[in-house]
Chains A and B, each alone.
Chain A
């Protein structure tokens, strides 16, 4: 079964290059090479190929999902180092359990999000945050000024701090829904709650963020008006 899927992958161009291509005799732009593939392999097909030890499938699965999982962890945990550790743990689990993955039982992307979210929540519970709204970084200056890039970084830091100050489950809900773009059913499934509970978590999270970021919202509006004029 896995061998057949591997053949599908190879037929789709994964795991090998043509000899002409390797010899550089038939150079093709990336977009043209992409057109040759009839169909991208599904996540299930990639996972089956990963279980067979196919290097190209491992790389393809990482290309497809690693950044999204890292971004989820980064916004849940508030720092890059912890986010990389979580993303690494998620993919090591994929490598370990690939041979036991049952296609059709669940969406692979949802499973990845669930594992990553649970790992983040575990970390947050072990290291209860000491962040507080009052400890959020101060804006260097209220003037719009010429340093717009610096302002953007400061605003980003304030939004990040406000996000990190949310209770864990509210943060998870808004990260999954707003930042990862998952639907309410998928978010509820990952968090193990009802869709009504997801909506409640999201409402409370956004209300808290509005309070925390009231000043920043005004700053953003003001700088938008300045740049528009």
Chain B
């Protein structure tokens, strides 16, 4: 910390921080102001810097637009949402069947998985009865039916029936 202020040092301070003592380094301010009080030369230096400060203060400042304030208020944090309706306690299953069901399906009512299973079964039966699904294609069936075909022939026939993408073969 400087205990005394020289004219040279005051010049450096004014060159950097301008004329207002409020902007000067706090530790040196009292000594600088003491020098100002006794030195006309120091006062002239600060007055000249004050005129330059006035010119700098002409730089445009701007004010926030209403749209900016509106956008910020729209994006502000919101209070935490109140917790939803209280969840009703689950009814405990009763009896041996209930206990068994709860062991198999502990996630609530077993009606949903049971219903889904039944629906899948019905759909499968319906599809099976209405569609002509055969494991073997007609040519393959013919080939399989002829007893004089060798095993190699069957394999060749099966391979010929498959379409291999060209890029797999490269």
Binding site for B on A (CB under 8 A): 50-55, 58-59, 62, 66-67, 70-71, 74-75, 80, 83-84, 87-88, 91-92, 95, 98-99, 152, 155-157, 159-160, 163, 174, 177-179, 181, 183-185, 195, 199-200, 202-203, 206-207, 209-210, 213, 216-217, 220-221
Binary contact track B52-67/A, C-beta < 8 Å → 1, others 0: 1111101111111100
Q: A52-B79, A91-B72, A159-B59 are in contact. Are A220 and B51 (CB under 8 A)?
A: yes
Q: Which 9 A-B pairs have the closest CB atoms?
A: A53-B79, A74-B62, A202-B16, A58-B76, A203-B16, A159-B59, A71-B61, A199-B16, A156-B58
Which one, A66, A155, A217, contacts B51 given CB within 8 A?
A217
Stretch at the interface among B19-27, B85-93, B154-162: B19-27
Is A53 touching B56 in the complex (CB atoms < 8 A)? no
Residues of A close to B72: CB separation below 8 A:
58, 62, 66, 88, 91-92, 95
The distance from the CB of A214 to the nearest CB of chain B, in whole angstroms, is 10
Is A95 touching B75 in the complex (CB atoms < 8 A)? yes
Is B61 touching A75 in the complex (CB atoms < 8 A)? yes
User: How many angstroms from the CA of A99 to the CA of B76 in the assembled complex?
Assistant: 13
User: How many angstroms from the CA of A92 to the CA of B68 in the assembled complex?
Assistant: 11
User: How many angstroms from the CA of A184 to the CA of B77 in the assembled complex?
Assistant: 34
B122 adjacent to chain A (CB < 8 Å): no
Is A177 touching B79 in the complex (CB atoms < 8 A)? no
The distance from the CB of B48 to the nearest CB of chain A, in whole angstroms, is 10
The distance from the CB of B63 to the nearest CB of chain A, in whole angstroms, is 6
Is B75 touching A92 in the complex (CB atoms < 8 A)? yes
B169 adjacent to chain A (CB < 8 Å): no
User: How many angstroms from the CA of A178 to the CA of B69 in the assembled complex?
Assistant: 26
User: How many angstroms from the CA of A177 to the CA of B14 in the assembled complex?
Assistant: 13
Q: A53-B78, A55-B76, A184-B25 are in contact. Are A159 and B55 (CB under 8 A)?
A: yes
Which one, A51, A83, A160, contacts B77 given CB within 8 A?
A51
Residues of B close to A202: CB separation below 8 A:
16-17
Is B53 touching A178 in the complex (CB atoms < 8 A)? yes
Q: A80-B62, A95-B77, A163-B59 are in contact. Are A203 and B15 (CB under 8 A)?
A: yes
Is B68 touching A84 in the complex (CB atoms < 8 A)? yes
Which one, B26, B62, B75, B78, contacts A183 given CB within 8 A?
B26
B73 adjacent to chain A (CB < 8 Å): yes
Residues of A close to B73: CB separation below 8 A:
55, 58-59, 62
